[in-house]
Amino acid sequence: MSEKVKIGVLGPEGTFSEKAARKWNSRAEIRYFEDISDVLEAAQKGEIDSGIVPVENSIEGSIGMTLDYLLEYDVKVTGEVVIPVKHCLLGRRGEDIRVILSHPQALAQCRKHLKSMFPGAELRAVESTARAAEMAAKARNTAAIASEESARRYGLTVLEHSIADMKENFTRFLVIGKQFAPPGGSDKTSIIVYLDENRPGALYDLLGEFARRSIDLTKIESRPSKKALGDYLFYIDFKGHFSDPLVREAIENVKQKTGMLKLLGSFRTADSQMDV
C-alpha cells in the first residue's frame, strides 16, 4: 500500500485550516504545526506533501502574514479551498467571562458583537482558534472563539452560535507544495512583483500587459516591501495558466518592467476543485 498524503496545517486539532485540508483531501494524514511559517517551511523541505494556509477572509480581507511568507519561502501555490466560517463562543456555563481568546482574525471578525456583549472582557490573541479552545478548557472565567467541533474536542459548551459581525463569512486557503500544478481547465495564476523604479504610470503600464491580452485580473493588492516607508510589493491574481501562450507572454513582459517577479503558481479555482 502507498503511504498516505501528508498535509500540514496550523494546529492544534480543530482549526479551520484542518477543515479546509479535509475538504481538499479527506483521506490525507494531517500534520499540525504551531505557526503558518512552520507549515511553509515543512512544505519547502519536503517534510509534507502539501500545506494548507489561510490567505483571505471575506470580512477582514487578506492575511498579511501569509502573503509575506509566500515571498520568503521557496514554495508553489498548487490549489485553493474556500470554506464557510462559523465562529462560536465556547466556555463553561455559569462563569463570569473575563478573558476571550482566539486568533486575531477571529477576534476582528467578531469585534462589534464582543464590544456589545462583553465590554469589560480582555480580548487576547493566540495562534489559532483551536489553540484558544484548548487554553480556555484549562482556565477559569475564560472563553474562546472557535468552531463547534473545537467545543466537542476540548470539552467546552457552545455559549453562543454564529457570533461574527457579518452572517456571510468565508475564508480562502491556499494549497502549498514544491512543484507547479498542471493546467486544470479553470485556472488562475498568482505572481508577486516589485517596482524598483517609482515613476508616474509604472503600475498602469504593468497592468496594461494584461489588459492588452484580455487577461482578467481577479485581485491586486499591495504589501509593504519592508525596505522603506511607502515602498510596496504587489500581489496579482489573474485568470489563466502560466503555460498558456498569452499568459506566458504577459508574464515575460511584466518581468522586464519590474525589479522582481516571483511566480507563485497556477492552480484550479476553488469552484472547480474536487476531492483528490
The reply to whether 197 and 257 lie within a common domain is: yes
As annotated, the active-site residues are 171, 173
Cα 264 to Cα 12, 238, 270: the distances in Å are 27, 12, 16
Q: What is the DSSP letter of 186?
A: S
pLDDT of residue 1: 47
Q: Is the pTM of this model over 0.75?
A: yes
Which residues fall within 8 angstroms of residue 169, CB to CB, at 6 or more apart?
57, 58, 59, 84, 85, 86, 87, 109
For the chain, the straight-line distance linking the first and the last C-alpha, in angstroms and rounded, comes to 17
pLDDT of residue 2: 58
pLDDT tens track for 44-86: 999 999 999 999 999 888 999 999 999 999 999 999 999 999 9
Residue 153 belongs to some domain of the structure: yes
Q: Among 90-99, 106-115, 199-208, 254-263, which is the least confidently predicted range?
A: 199-208
Instruction: Give the residues across from 194 on adjacent strands.
Output: 233, 260
Residue 275 belongs to some domain of the structure: no
φ, ψ (nearest 5 deg) of residue 37: -60, -35
Q: Can you give the C-alpha Rg of the chain in angstroms?
A: 20
Question: Using CA atoms, how far apart are residues 72 and 242, in angstroms rounded to an integer?
Answer: 21
The reply to whether 94 and 66 lie within a common domain is: no
**For residue 39, how far is the Cα from the chain centroid?**
12
Q: 64-72 vs 36-45: helix axis angle to the nearest 10?
A: 20
pLDDT tens track for 76-121: 999 999 999 999 999 999 889 999 999 999 999 999 999 999 998 9
Mean pLDDT within 159-165: 92
Q: Could you tell me the residue range of the domain that residue 146 belongs to? A: 88-160
The reply to whether 233 and 121 lie within a common domain is: no
